[in-house]
Amino acid sequence: MEYNGGSLAADHLCVLVHGLWGNPEHMKSVAKALRNAHPEDNLYLLLAKRNSGSFTYDGIERGGERVCFEIEDEIEKIRKEGGKITKLSIVGYSLGGLVARYAIGLLEMRGVLREVEPVNFTTFASPHLGVRTPLRGWYNHIWNVLGARTLSMSGRQLFTIDDYRGTGRPLLAVLADPKSVFMAGLRRFKRRTLYANIVNDRSAVYYTTCITKTDPYVDLSKIKVNYLKGYEDVILDPVAPVSPLLTKNGDGSMNNLAATSLNYLRKAPLMLAIVVFVPIGVIAFLFNSLVQTFRSSKRIQLHESGKAGIQIENYRSPIWIQDVRGTVEDVYENLNNWQGESYLRASDDEDEDGNLNKAETRILALERRKSHPQFPTLALTPAQFTMIDELDKVGWRKYPVWIHIGRHSHAAIIVRTDSPKFREGLTVLEHWIKEEFLI
């Protein structure tokens, strides 16, 4: 990777962590943007590579251990060559944002974040609350339970159906526990920034990437978006991203009808492609899922036995403190994108809460009462509502992003390849470099 590394004069290390099914090449545009703004004498780059490709199936925990190992190894290598890293920044894309948050906890546990100054923590389209679609009833079981089994351990953790280390809680809930090393490490960073797609992100939708209980962008015909000055048509104003849509005919019914019709026309080619190609893709996807789950289980066995190059006992101390890409990815994204969304409303009955304990039932009842008529609260789980509250307490600078060109905003937000359809992502990177990244 041409942008990897830097000069021994640089005291600031920035680590880039790719996402599910990914590899360091996916972070090339991010690395290039950083290097164009900050020469090798000022910034040292590390594009994490030990978690590439199918290794991302092995779970957030093992991915975090690998990234933590790479960071410590790189800092030590630079020290031996005569340099010294005194500042650390970490950037995570998609699943890489969760892997990075886990790695931060390990760095905190091992004392690394007391030896260097944590500066920037940034995520692009990262599913901080998992990828569970807000659904209720039997729909919930079709995708959120069965779908979770297609991505090995990472799938179970992303859909929050795992039991992390026998705690009876999913890993993502532990990552957001205010008493955990993960949150302690996250709080140390000077700046925490996230960028979230408002539409066409078929891998990680807005509510989870922006850590929010509502999604005002479900029907764009009913709102007016407000752009951030200087970054119009791509980045929304984080203070007041939307406002009510004022129409000439009062209720706006004709405008809504026209917008809905146009939306259907835009989706027609996609629906045709789904009818023709998806059955073949689904078979390939499920077959690949079985193969990758088997391979992942073997790698996990090697990892747990210490035969994968990492002494795991160094990363397994207590976590609480008191102070086939291509087709496979496309099929998963299409299946995920088919799911609708359910909401909590003040008038709802509570029959579906029968399997919850008293604390969880109280959480849902409170969120149901607070649900806004215009932007109702999504039907998230009690654990997800708790994650939102705790993550928001550490403070985030949140930027909604509207990618207009193409229908793959998940890749476009970081310009994952040089495709012209992804060029709007350059505006996102420009904003991040100029306005958010502290050197």
Residue 324: its pLDDT value, please?
44
Give the confidence band of 335 by pLDDT, cuts at 50, 70, 90: very low
Region of 195 please: left (phi>0), alpha (psi -120 to 50) or beta.
beta
- Separation of alpha carbons 90 and 145, rounded Å: 32
Among 421, 435, 383, 412, which Cα is nearest to 164's?
A: 383
Average pLDDT over residues 360-364: 82
Q: What is the percentage of the chain residues whose pLDDT exceeds 70?
A: 72
Residue 137: its pLDDT value, please?
53
Q: What is the percentage of the chain residues whose pLDDT exceeds 90?
A: 56
**β-pairing verdict for 117-124 and 191-197:** parallel
pTM, rounded to two decimals: 0.80
Among 202, 201, 200, 182, which Cα is nearest to 192's?
A: 182
- Separation of alpha carbons 149 and 207, rounded Å: 22
Q: How many Cβ atoms from other residues are within 10 Å of residue 191's Cβ?
A: 16
- Separation of alpha carbons 268 and 254, rounded Å: 21
C-alpha distances in angstroms, 345 versus 221, 279, 351, 364? 22, 36, 13, 10
Identity of the highest mean pLDDT range in 150-154, 264-268, 322-326, 358-362: 358-362
Per DSSP (E only), the strands in 247-307 are none
Amino acid found at 331: V
pLDDT of 253 over the 50 cut = no
Residue 369: its pLDDT value, please?
80
Amino acid found at 345: R
Give the confidence band of 143 by pLDDT, cuts at 50, 70, 90: low
3-state secondary structure of 123: strand
pLDDT of 256 over the 80 cut = no
The DSSP string of 353-365 is: GTTS-HHHHHHHH
pLDDT of 415 over the 60 cut = yes
3-state secondary structure of 228: coil
Residue 89 phi, psi (nearest 5): -130, 145
Give the confidence band of 301 by pLDDT, cuts at 50, 70, 90: low
The two three-digit tokens of residue 150, written as one number = 């297609």
How many helices, marked H, and strands, marked E, lie in the chain? 15, 10
3-state secondary structure of 418: coil
User: Could you read off the pLDDT of 114-129 as tens digits, one per residue?
Assistant: 999 999 999 999 999 9
User: Could you read off the pLDDT of 223-248 as tens digits, one per residue?
Assistant: 999 999 999 999 999 999 998 776 55
* Least-confidence region, from 17-21, 130-134, 269-273: 269-273
The two three-digit tokens of residue 132, written as one number = 């569970």
- Label residues 69-99 b or e (16+ Cβ within 10 Å = b): bbbbebbeebeeeebebebbbbbbbbbbbbb
Residues whose CB is less than 8 angstroms from the CB of residue 265 and which lie 6 or more positions away in sequence, other chains included: none
Give the confidence band of 398 by pLDDT, cuts at 50, 70, 90: very high
The two three-digit tokens of residue 281, written as one number = 């893709």
The two three-digit tokens of residue 233, written as one number = 């048509």
pLDDT of 300 over the 60 cut = no
- Separation of alpha carbons 385 and 388, rounded Å: 5
User: Could you read off the pLDDT of 77-115 as tens digits, one per residue?
Assistant: 999 999 999 999 999 999 999 999 999 999 999 999 999
* Least-confidence region, from 38-52, 96-110, 123-137, 262-276: 262-276
The two three-digit tokens of residue 336, written as one number = 């995920």
